[in-house]
Structure 1
């Protein structure tokens, strides 16, 4: 968690804004006279469950706790961060000057260890058992070299002695997760011994850790590097450095469990395969894939444990992946807004007793067919969530509908949603209108439930959104294209950190005909340097584009960002308009309806602009 996110998580936005405005409870939110303009009817709303605020009056602006303090106290982002950090009890410390050098040294150390392990696998007599295992798994020497597979000698201090001889300090070996201090305090011993070694790389191809498989009966069967300054198992995907181009080209990421599954797939030419390091799929891992594709297929083992892992992975994906807000007629002249999943999720059903590596070796065409036509998420759930039910029983029929309705409601395509509504009606042998009504009630349950007597728990504050981050990544790469999106304003960035960075970048780019990136970095407020570093790291995930393509891409990113912001405001307005108590307490209805009409028109304009540019992009490519 970044220091900005840490501060957000510990600050109550209601407490902060309450020091500047008299807040009154209005349903699940709070209302007040806007502290930024004179008014008689409250139009300023605080949304505590989202850690945001918005003025629906003449300001027509909003943001998070940082943007509020910046606007109210006329502060820059760094000053706002320092004030809120002090309030939250979070210590702000600048990175030590040697920290980057230390991380670089760790990367060099791990690369040296990987090369040494690989040499041992090829040359050392003690590695014969590892070579036989690789051969038995049908991995060629060329593939083993490509993935730099290695072998750790079955000795207590072999690697420690080798690396110490290369001039590396014991504290560096320990920081890299390669050695463990003895409990007695009398020295260190190698973490990996007598194991086949799999170097784990980041998306840029740098070694950040290791996976190790026992070749005997030792437990555990697989052992990974511990958490280090470079390695976070929950935020790493094995093989992503080699798979990212294929994932983008195929527009599909196939997620498997094991190292050998990835290696075998790539050897056979199926290069869009990555592994989740033996863990249930995590939100951080999905974050690595979002820039490459919005289509994900899980190919986990068909045993009971694999099926449970598939369910967990799909659930995490449903919660973590991007959603779009779509208008839905509500009757009585109202327009509702409901969320639809923007991503497509699939399951690759493996034959009983076969893991991906075994299937790819035995029947590569079958694997190719399965990945070309994966099972949609909803079809998988129709079986997985009803297999324990007796669908001749009325109570179990109701249970089936309750389990599947939330899945169906997320489907973005209306025709597909209607198809699965019909399928569920046939499955439980209940009239389709009844099933459609049940799904509709699930769709509209959320706002009502949140206004119930039970207080909604506060959710973790959102960091810079993916759309904000992607736009800023493009803008940082080619700030000369910012004049192409003059309609984009700081208020279009919901996150205060992103808003401040956009302002700084725009001002620097406008100040000179030549943008000096190093000078911009040097002049950047220290509080924005972590975002700078994240954006620089994210550049590796941006496709290589020529200047006209980059100009068009930055326009597309800007229109998407503005449309997302407008849809968020529309969703909030819809809640106010549907709740008559909040409506009377918050602002006059005609003004809000006029704002809805304006935003709907602007969303439509953004969609037309996007359609024109994406069509041109497709034609160009």
Structure 2
């Protein structure tokens, strides 16, 4: 477990206003000299015995409970959580009306992700609950420097992309937004979360530490969830890639099925890479073994004329592409193989294009403004190889003119 630095603890103790925290809990405070007085929430306080000192940002009860301490002690006592959990709540700005004191007349308030309502969740069906959790993860990602830095490292830190696919981040904070476990509503919600697969039997979040990518139907229902761990230095046996338990359900980016040709990727990260650079007619299987009957039916039912297979350029990707192309071509769909450099996938290839084009730029984001990744992807699309036998069809569509549907914003 990562140690919390003394500097971080000191920052929280000094910056987070105890006065604001107490007032957000419904405690009426009255000025008394340099301090504030109010009724202590931790015992049956008949006369105001809670003293808060803004100057030191400390609190103390002069009454029966005789409790006191810093903002961390307050959160531990008020929320019934451990020291580390209290620090997490404060660091992630996940307490109602959490405020940072600054030397100005206006004191900005951090807006936490919306707390999940117990009365709604206790009676909600699984889809409603799943949607609420995905919304929570989505808001968490937008406030997480770690998650946004990971997206930047993959060339995917883009507001339009993040919002279009409701990208999220699971950072162990979901439990803090639920009713307490001993409470009936809290136990019922956790049971539902386990049934869906968002919680494990151990009580931990299934996607903890992961970028979360939901797969949504045309109607907006969540049909599958993919998680990719942000860290690579995981304990032996810890998977980097996670899905909900059970068979894969749904087609990623179903709006692409309205086009006559599809770019088919091996992973959701690769599909997002094409989408980010303007190639919006893209979908994905769930890995080399995840080309589902549902996806095959979607391609044939929507009269897709051509599939450009953009699997990884490795043995597993090559074998899966060959295997997949056979039933597709038998169904009358033209198949082409997008060939990245050996050993590379679409995301790595796009980032390499950024790196070589940037030449001294400080970040991937700076290189993306030059749009080298788009040009690199155009090149491999144009050079995609026909996978059939006999007479090769005349190039058309993307093969002839691989211009993105939407240009990259300057």
User: Which residue, 347, 354, 360 being the options, matches 1:357?
Assistant: 347
The equivalent of 2:213 in structure 1 is 198
The equivalent of 1:132 in structure 2 is 149
Alpha-carbon offset, residue 141 of structure 1: 2.9
Alpha-carbon offset, residue 160 of structure 1: 5.9
CA contact (8 A) 1:110 1:209 kept: no
Cα separation, 1, equivalents of 2:180 and 2:265: 34
Cα separation, 2, equivalents of 1:261 and 1:297: 13
Q: Summarize deviations over 1:577-621 as a string: whole Å, max 9, x none.
A: xxxxxxxxxxxxxxxxxxxxxxxxxxxxxxxxxxxxxxxxxxxxx
The equivalent of 1:348 in structure 2 is 338
Alpha-carbon offset, residue 117 of structure 1: 0.4
Cα separation, 1, equivalents of 2:178 and 2:311: 36
Alpha-carbon offset, residue 161 of structure 1: 5.2
SS of corresponding position for 1:189: coil
Q: Summarize deviations over 1:143-197 as a string: whole Å, max 9, x none.
A: 2122211111146945765999799633422232212224xxxxx4322211111
User: Which residue, 265, 286, 292 being the options, matches 1:282?
Assistant: 292
SS of corresponding position for 2:215: strand
Q: 1:351 to 1:285 in 2, by over 3 A?
A: same
Greater helix content: 1
RMSD: 3.1
Q: 1:351 to 1:108 in 2, by over 3 A?
A: same
The equivalent of 1:238 in structure 2 is 252
Q: Which runs of 5+ in 1 are unaligned?
A: 1-101, 183-187, 323-341, 379-407, 418-621
User: Which residue, 384, 388, 395 being the options, matches 1:374?
Assistant: 384
Q: 1:359 to 1:204 in 2, by over 3 A?
A: farther
Q: 1:353 to 1:162 in 2, by over 3 A?
A: farther
The equivalent of 1:556 in structure 2 is none
Cα separation, 2, equivalents of 1:168 and 1:120: 23
The equivalent of 2:125 in structure 1 is 105
Q: 1:142 to 1:115 in 2, by over 3 A?
A: same
CA contact (8 A) 1:211 1:223 kept: yes
Structure 2 counterparts to residues 148-187 of structure 1, below 5 A: 148-154=166-172, 157-158=175-176, 169-182=189-202
**Length, aligned pairs only:** 243
Cα separation, 2, equivalents of 1:359 and 1:103: 47
Cα separation, 2, equivalents of 1:161 and 1:225: 23
Q: Which runs of 5+ in 2 are unaligned?
A: 1-121, 354-372, 394-410
Cα separation, 2, equivalents of 1:316 and 1:416: 18
Cα separation, 2, equivalents of 1:353 and 1:258: 15
Cα separation, 2, equivalents of 1:373 and 1:263: 21
Q: Summarize deviations over 1:451-481 as a string: whole Å, max 9, x none.
A: xxxxxxxxxxxxxxxxxxxxxxxxxxxxxxx
CA contact (8 A) 1:179 1:190 kept: yes
CA contact (8 A) 2:274 2:282 kept: yes
Q: 1:178 to 1:311 in 2, by over 3 A?
A: same
The equivalent of 1:146 in structure 2 is 164
SS of corresponding position for 1:179: coil
SS of corresponding position for 1:190: coil
Q: Summarize deviations over 1:348-384 as a string: whole Å, max 9, x none.
A: 1112343212334524224224324531113xxxxxx
Instruction: Work out whether 1:213 is the aligned partner of 2:228.
Output: yes
